[in-house]
Amino acid sequence: MVEFGLDTFGDVTNRADGTRSSQAEVIRDVIDEAVLADSLGLDAFNVGEHHRDDFAVTAPEVVLAAAAARTEHIRLGSAVTVLSSDDPVRVFQRFATVDAISNGRAEITLGRGSFTESFPLFGYELSQYETLFTEKLDLFSHLLTEGPVTWSGTVRAPLEGQQVYPKTAGGGIRTWIGVGGSPESVVRAARYGLPMMLAIIGGDPRRFAPYVDLYHRALTQLELPALPVGIHSPGHIADTDEHAREELWQNYQVMWDRIGRERGWPPRTRSDFENEADGGSLYVGSPETVARRIAAAVQALGVQRFDLKYSTGTLPHAAMMRSIGLYASAVAPRVRELLAEAQAPVPA
C-alpha cells in the first residue's frame, strides 16, 4: 500500500486580486489546507520550516498543533525540521506535544534543509554544517527511545541519565530522514534505522533508484528490518493539463527565479518548465496525467509514500485547495488502481 501525503513550506501567496498575502493569512490558510486534506482522507500533511520573507512558517510545530485540534485522522509532520540549527531535546518535546494533541498522529522529518538562514539567526557557524547535523541526529536517536538519555558531543551540553518529557502515549514518534541525494546521507538513515524520505525536486526520478537500492542493502547488512522509503516532489493538479500548467507556470517562475538570483542559477524558461512537467519530477496536469506519472515513479523506485509539495511560490490559496481536492479524490485512488493493475498476474 502506498501512502499519500501533502507538503507545504507555507509559501507566501498572492490573493485573488494579485496582491501579496500577509504571512499571518498564509499561516491560517495552511491550517485550512490541512483540515481539507484530513476531511478527504489523505494520509499525511507536512509543514516545512524556513526563516525568510517568502515563506510564512518558521515554527511548524505550532501550526501542526493548531491543525491537530481541527483534524481527526491525518498524520501531521514536518517537511523538514532543520535539526542542525535547533536543539534536539526541544524538537522532541515540541513534537511529543503535537503527538499528544493529535492523539498519536505526529511525524518528524529531520534534515539539513535547502536554505541556511537559520544558522546565523540562531548563532551557528556554517563551518560546522556537517558536525552539527551528525551530532544532533545522534542525540535525537537516543531521545526517540524515550528512556533515560546519556550522551555527549561538542555542539551542546552533555546529558547524563536525563529523562525528557512529555512521553508519548504510543512510545515513539515516527521519524524520517530527509535525503537530497548523497550516498552518505542514505547510509546514515539506514544506520539509525529510520525511514528515508527522498527530496526529488528535479530530473527523472529513476535516477534515485541506486539510492533506494543502497538503503535497502545497508539495512540488510546492518541486520535491520525493512523500512519505508518516500518521495517528496512538487506538483499541481487542475481539470486539464493545459489549465494546470498555465495556472502554475508564472508562480513557479517567480519562485525559481527569486531563489536562482540568490544562488547564481540562470532564469527558468518555459521550456525548462515543460520539460520538467513532461519527464522530470514536476507532477503537474490533469488527475489522470499526474496519477500516471506518480504511479510510474512509485513503481520504478519501489517506494511506500508519495508526498506532493502542493504549494509553489505565489500560487493562490484557492488554486491549492482545488489541487488538494483533486489529489485526494482522483489522483490517489487512480494511482492505487494503476499499481494494482501493474502487479496483477498475467493470465496463462
d(CA 130, CA 136): 10
Average pLDDT over residues 318-338: 98
Cell numbers describing residue 221: 547488512
Confidence band, pLDDT 50/70/90 cuts, at residue 346: low
pLDDT at 234 exceeding the cut of 80: yes
**What residues contact residue 206 under an 8 Å CB cut-off, 6+ apart?**
297, 300, 301
Lowest-confidence pick of 13-27, 199-213, 249-263: 249-263
How would you classify the pairing of strands 149-151 and 159-162? antiparallel
Q: Is the pLDDT of residue 348 over 80?
A: no
Q: Is the pLDDT of residue 347 over 70?
A: no
Residue the block writes with cell 547524563: 160
pLDDT digits (tens, 9 = 90+) for 31-59: 999 999 999 999 999 999 999 999 999 99
In the block, residue with C-alpha cell 545497508? 218
* Per-residue pLDDT, 65: 98
**Mean pLDDT for all residues in the chain:** 96
> Per-residue pLDDT tens for 254-287?
998 988 888 888 888 999 999 999 999 999 999 9
Q: How far apart are CA 150 and CA 332, in angstroms?
A: 44
Q: What angle do CA 198, 6, 120 make, to 5 degrees?
A: 65
Q: What is the pLDDT of residue 228?
A: 98
Cis peptide before 80 (omega within 30 of 0): yes
The model's pLDDT over 136-185, given as tens digits with 9 standing for 90+, comes to 999 999 999 999 999 999 999 999 999 999 999 999 999 999 999 899 99
pLDDT, position 161? 98
SS (HEC) of the chain: CCEEEEEECCECCECCCCCECCHHHHHHHHHHHHHHHHHCCCCEEEECCCCCCCECCCCHHHHHHHHHCCCCCCEEEECCEEHHHCCHHHHHHHHHHHHHHCCCCEEEEEECCCCCCHHHHCCCCHHHHHHHHHHHHHHHHHHCCCCCEEECCCCCCCEEEECCCCCCCCCCCEEEEEECCCHHHHHHHHHCCCCEEEECCCCCHHHHHHHHHHHHHHHHHCCCCCCCEEEEEEEEECCCHHHHHHHHHHHHHHHHHHHHHHHCCCCCCHHHHHHHHHHCCCEEECHHHHHHHHHHHHHHHCCCEEEEECCCCCCCHHHHHHHHHHHHHHHHHHHHHHHHHHHCCCCC
How far is Cα of residue 108 from the mean position of the Cα atoms in its chain?
9
Q: Check residue 1 and give its pLDDT.
A: 86
pLDDT at 345 over 90: no
Q: Which of 35-44, 92-101, 196-205, 251-260 has the lowest mean pLDDT?
A: 251-260
Phi, psi of 107 (to 5 degrees): -135, 160
> Residue 318 — very low, low, confident or very high, per pLDDT cuts 50/70/90?
very high
What pLDDT, on the 0 to 100 scale, is given for residue 272? Answer: 94
pLDDT at 8: 98
Contacts of 173 (CB under 8 A, 6+ apart): 92, 95, 96, 99, 106, 107, 108, 144
What percentage of the chain has pLDDT greater than the value 70?
99
Cell numbers for 194: 529510520
Q: Is residue 209's pLDDT more than 90?
A: yes
Q: State the pLDDT at residue 89.
A: 98
